[in-house]
Amino acid sequence: MHLALMLFQNQMDPEQIRKIALGFLAVMPILILVGMAIVVVPFWFICKTAGFSPWLSLINVIPLGNIILIYVLAFAEWKVVPILPPQMGYPYPPAPPRV
């Protein structure tokens, strides 16, 4: 609230400007790391599932690397073994012992 009121003033004190700048400089690296984690972690699991090296997900850190990785994943052949459907009724579980 104080920041909004300061912005409506005509002139700001240079000391207040310095404090606001230091506040932004303290918070911005944390926000950048959280944002990178939100993007890199899902791509890490997608790359691992697709059979690629999970380290490939770090391309997202590079500007426009996100688009490159999406195209690589979209048009590459995924090295995933298909799951066989279960066979109906076979094998039967062992019969219980009779006493």
pLDDT in tens, 65-80: 999 999 999 999 888 7
Q: Which domain holds residue 65?
A: 14-75
Distance CA(41)–CA(60), nearest Å, equals 10
- pTM comes to 0.62
- Confidence at residue 88, expressed as pLDDT on a 0 to 100 scale: 64
Please tell me the least confidently modeled range out of 24-28, 53-57, 78-82, 85-89: 85-89
In a domain, 86, yes or no: no
In a domain, 20, yes or no: yes
In a domain, 57, yes or no: yes
Q: Name every residue whose Cβ is closer than 8 Å to that of residue 28 and which is 6 or more positions away in sequence.
A: none
In a domain, 68, yes or no: yes
In a domain, 95, yes or no: no
In a domain, 3, yes or no: no
In a domain, 47, yes or no: yes
Number of domains in the chain: 1
pLDDT in tens, 15-33: 888 998 899 999 999 999 9
Distance CA(47)–CA(74), nearest Å, equals 11
In a domain, 18, yes or no: yes
Residue 41 has pLDDT above 90, yes or no: yes
Residue 86 has pLDDT above 90, yes or no: no
- Confidence at residue 25, expressed as pLDDT on a 0 to 100 scale: 92
- Which amino acid, residue 18? R
Residue 94 pLDDT level (bands cut at 50, 70, 90) = confident
